[in-house]
């Protein structure tokens, strides 16, 4: 997009490609899911760029970032994000992650909560161990191999039918991202994932969990259970959305995200005012 910045920086020993809206504004880092890339966040970044510096990295093995031969576990992805934040000098960003990116964001937040101003988890890969094994033993990696051997236009036509309610722009971004995803990235599906209950239990940063109502990874029951174990976590369910919440209902999703981000700003102002003696506050 006009005025946006693209670049590559070294983070955790790999080259990380990113796009950034820029400006002297509070930073928001967007982490994509498996087979996507940073550019897939373009519609949300357009909605946020007026008030935030939106930073969209490609995860290792995705987009134009490096694809090492190994190191595709959540600890690796989280270490990449922490190093990336430091490399760009992003001061206490809000981190938002979808699916694989959501689990990664949760790990980042639990490693060093003081590093972040807020956390948004969008239907993260919070799967039981049994479900992790089922996904790992499925043919999803083989499906990806077959897609990589198909003409891009054939795949694009297929997903236009499968996701007919999504915008043409988003569908084309996802098709491009799929063909830029290394088969090595599917190692992230190897069990076990981090214990999501433990992650949520240890969160110490304002957090939002966003789920859909049609086939979400995180069910409403699990979401309610997680909110019950940590007061830092707020839950919002968006109607008529599945696992791809940001792309199924982009306007509703953007509104939810912006409301949460504004609440963080209001909370920060309240803390500053609360720390000033009453005698020194303005009328």
What pLDDT, on the 0 to 100 scale, is given for residue 283? Answer: 41
CB 82 within 8 A of CB 65: no
Q: How far apart are CA 81 and CA 31, in angstroms?
A: 9
Cis amide prior to 6 (ω within 30 degrees)? no
What pLDDT, on the 0 to 100 scale, is given for residue 112? Answer: 87
The DSSP element (H or E) to which 105 belongs, if any, is helix 100-111
Q: How far apart are CA 261 and CA 255, in angstroms?
A: 10
Q: Is the pLDDT of residue 50 over 60?
A: yes
| Mean pLDDT, the chain, whole residue set | 94
Question: Is residue 271 very low, low, confident or very high in pLDDT (cuts 50, 70, 90)?
Answer: low
213-241 residue pLDDT tens: 999 999 999 999 999 999 999 999 999 99
What pLDDT, on the 0 to 100 scale, is given for residue 1? Answer: 72
Question: Is residue 132 very low, low, confident or very high in pLDDT (cuts 50, 70, 90)?
Answer: very high
Distances (CA, A) of 123 to 25, 57, 140, 188, 216: 27, 19, 19, 16, 7
What pLDDT, on the 0 to 100 scale, is given for residue 266? Answer: 79
Q: Is the pLDDT of residue 276 over 50?
A: no
- SS3 label, residue 139: coil
Prediction pTM value: 0.94
By percentage, how much of the chain surpasses pLDDT 90?
A: 90
- Interval 243-252 mean pLDDT: 96
Q: How far apart are CA 248 and CA 240, in angstroms?
A: 8
């Amino acid at each position: 997009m006009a005025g946006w910045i693209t670049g590559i920086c070294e983070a955790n020993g790999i080259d990380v490609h990113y796009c950034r809206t820029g400006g002297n504004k509070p930073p928001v880092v967007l982490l994509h899911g498996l087979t996507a890339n940073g550019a897939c966040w373009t519609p949300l970044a357009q909605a946020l760029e007026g008030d935030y510096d939106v930073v969209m990295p490609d995860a290792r093995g995705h987009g134009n970032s490096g694809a090492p031969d190994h190191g595709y576990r959540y600890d690796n992805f989280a270490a990449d994000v922490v190093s990336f934040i430091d490399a760009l000098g992003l001061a206490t960003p809000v981190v938002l992650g979808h699916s694989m990116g959501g689990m990664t964001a949760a790990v980042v937040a639990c490693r060093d909560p003081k590093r972040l101003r807020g956390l948004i988890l969008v239907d993260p890969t919070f799967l039981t161990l049994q479900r992790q094994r089922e996904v790992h033993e499925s043919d999803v990696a083989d499906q990806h191999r077959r897609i990589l051997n198909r003409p891009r236009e054939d795949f694009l036509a297929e997903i236009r039918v499968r996701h007919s309610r999504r915008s043409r722009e988003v569908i084309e971004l996802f098709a491009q991202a799929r063909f830029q995803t290394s088969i090595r990235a599917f190692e992230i599906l190897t069990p076990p994932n981090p214990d999501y209950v433990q992650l949520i239990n240890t969160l110490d940063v304002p957090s939002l969990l966003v789920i859909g109502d049609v086939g979400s990874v995180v069910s409403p029951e699990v979401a309610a259970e997680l909110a019950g174990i940590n007061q830092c976590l707020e839950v919002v369910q968006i109607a008529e959305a599945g696992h791809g919440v940001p792309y199924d209902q982009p306007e509703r999703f953007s509104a939810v995200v912006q409301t949460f981000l504004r609440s963080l700003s209001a909370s920060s102002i309240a803390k500053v005012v609360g720390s000033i003696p009453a005698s020194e506050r303005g009328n």
